[in-house]
Structure 1
Amino acid sequence: MGIFSILERDNKVLYYPLEDQKVWGFSEKIKGKSFVCINTSLPYDKQVFTAAHELYHVWFGSSGEIMISEDAQEPDLSDEIELFANRFAAEFLVNEELLRQEIQVFNMDKDNLNIKDIVRLSSLFVVPYRTMVRRLHEIGVLAKKDFEKYISYTDEEADTWKNRLGVSIPERKNKIGLSDLADKALDLYERNMITYEKLEYLLEFAELTPEEMGIKSVNQYQPPTDEELDVIMEE
């Protein structure tokens, strides 16, 4: 089961392209229900990491934190709770046994990994480049000097290597998904509890239209013409 499916199972997950790319996501509990927001203006690997990070807050009761980055490259590492959430996300997404297995499968020299190996591994596990660097150091594959060398690479430099090596990650940029808002709106409309105009208004939040949901536009009321009135009066 993917990280997004796990997160959506017991929480209302909102996917929205926030303008501020320093904000990766946040979680909040409202009236006993957990809400999580993922910033979809970020690259997909960062959305994956954000989902795992927020899952920590939901599971361990520390919701309400905004996952923010000073330089848009990685979330805050100064707050203790955020450190725990980041560590949880890294271990959840990059299992040590599986990571060592993949290093072996791709014939990488575990004692001398290079930038190409790290970029390929980050793409394989769909996690941010710097997350993979930290994870490799945590399990003892990257020595401290190599860790310090590779952690200094910026997102732009890592992306350049991805382009050079022809590796890619799934694309889910600027996705909008507001949990089951559309379904609830359609249910209310089908039960004649809201008007067509209200349905349009609610669906607009998710950048959807009634027509896209299989609902045809209702005809606006047209008063009868003078000729039609004359016919009616004669009957």
Structure 2
Amino acid sequence: MFKRSFKYTDVPDPLKIQLEAEAEQFAYKIRTEIGVPLDQPLDIIEIIEEKFNVYVLQIKDLKVSGFVRMSGKQKLIFINASEPLGRQYYTAAHELCHILRDLNKVKEHEKLDENEKKDAINKMEFFANKFADYFISPREALAKSVIDTGITNFNEIKPKHIFTIQDKFKTSYRQTVRMLNKIGVLSDSQRDDLSSVSNANDPDFLINLMKDAGYNPLLSLPLAESRVPDKFINSIKSNITNNRISTKKIEYLKGILSIDFNSEDGPHNE
């Protein structure tokens, strides 16, 4: 359910304004409920796993950016670990929104005709995108981070300033630029100019630029290997031992995780 490909979501412009405002407030509401102040960055993977009891599985070479699955009563977020780490964190927040807001709507959507279902899913995806924006980098925290750079003239913002801010929020370079444009720090022309250094056809350019400026390019790189929480692997092994999981599900998990649950080896870590 909720397979995520980051494709364009077709929502009418007036509705976008409404949905974005609602998503922003929902993001702030959730942060308040879990005790994370709006002026502080957060560790999205840790928050999801510790505060919401949801396992995040970062798997190499998924065909989509991310999706939600259920394993019994346990909620799982699968993320494509072959995408840049900053993008993975955004996907994690997007999928968290689906878990918090949309899981109970799956059966409702099945009753809709194709056009109604498409519209409902587009609205849901757009909302989750905006939730991810503001859950990871609230306006208040983002504005404070700009002030902390010491910049007094926004026209003088350079890639090195973006690197500093993205390191703080653990976001991708492009998302950081986009959010600074959204809150009025960057003009549209600045956004386009600064975004141009992040090019999918030449990813090494941005990575080398970060290194030359003295920054770790980790957020612009994929994971070297899959990350699967030990707690999840141990729970599956326990279910196998106690015959609480079907052979079909075991084979599915073996295939997608590339893990032999009878072995101590595998791409797992905390």
Which TM-score tier does this pair reach, normalised by the shorter chain?
Answer: 0.5 to 0.7
1:173 is paired with a residue of what secondary structure?
coil
Please, which moves more after superposition, 140-149 or 171-180?
171-180
Q: Which has the higher contact order (CA 8 A, sep 6+)?
A: 2
1:114 and 2:162 are equivalent in the alignment: no
Matches within 5 A, 1:154-233: 154-155=199-200, 156=203, 157-168=205-216, 169=218, 172-177=223-228, 180-187=231-238, 205-206=258-259, 210-211=263-264
Taking structure 1 as the reference length, the TM-score comes to 0.65
Richer in helix (by share): 2
Report the counterpart of residue 228 of structure 1 in structure 2.
none
Which amino acid in structure 2 is aligned with residue 141 of structure 1? V
Structure 2: distance between partners of 1:143 and 1:10: 40
In structure 2, runs of 5+ residues without a counterpart are 1-41, 107-121
Matched residues in 1 for 2:71 and 2:234: separation?
20
Listed as ranges, the matches of 1:86-125 within 5 Å are 86-112=129-155, 113-125=157-169
What is the root-mean-square deviation of aligned Cα atoms in Å? Answer: 3.7
Letter in 2 for 1:175: S
Q: Quick one: distance in 2 between partners of 1:25 and 1:193?
A: 27
Q: Which residue of 1 aligns with 2:77?
A: 36
Q: Which structure 1 residue ranges, 5 or more long, are not aligned?
A: 65-78, 214-235
* 8 Å contact kept, 1:19–1:41: yes
CA shift, 1:136, in A, is 0.3
Residue 12 of structure 1: how far off its partner (Å): 4.2
1:134 is matched with 178
Alpha carbons of 1:173 and 1:46: their partners in 2 closer, same or farther (altered >3 Å)? farther
Q: What CA deviation, in whole Å up to 9, does each residue of 1:182-234 have, x standing for no partner?
A: 2134435776999xxxx9x96x8436764569xxxxxxxxxxxxxxxxxxxxx
For 1:51-62, list aligned pairs within 5 A.
51-61=92-102
2:259–2:265 Cα contact (<8 Å) kept: no
SS at match of 1:35: strand
Superposed counterparts of 1:63-102, under 5 Å = 79-102=122-145
C-alpha distance 192-166 of structure 1, shift in aligned 2 (>3 A): same
CA contact (8 A) 1:13 1:179 kept: no
* Structure 1 pair 48–110 and aligned structure 2 pair: CA distance change class (3 A): farther
User: In the TM superposition, what whole-angstrom CA distance separates every residue of 1:134-174 from its partner, at most 9, and x where no partner exists?
Assistant: 10011110012212322333252432321221211367432
TM-score normalised per structure 2: 0.58
Query: For the Cα contact (< 8 Å) 1:11–1:36, is it kept in 2?
Result: yes
Change (3 A) 1:208 1:159: farther
Deviation of 1:129 after TM superposition, in Å, equals 0.9
Are the aligned partners of 1:28 and 1:34 in contact in 2 as well (CA < 8 Å)? yes
Equivalent in the alignment of 1:49: 90
Paired residues, number: 193
Secondary structure of 1:177's counterpart equals: coil
1:106-136 alpha-carbon deviations (Å, 9 max, x no partner): 2123522122212332233210111111100
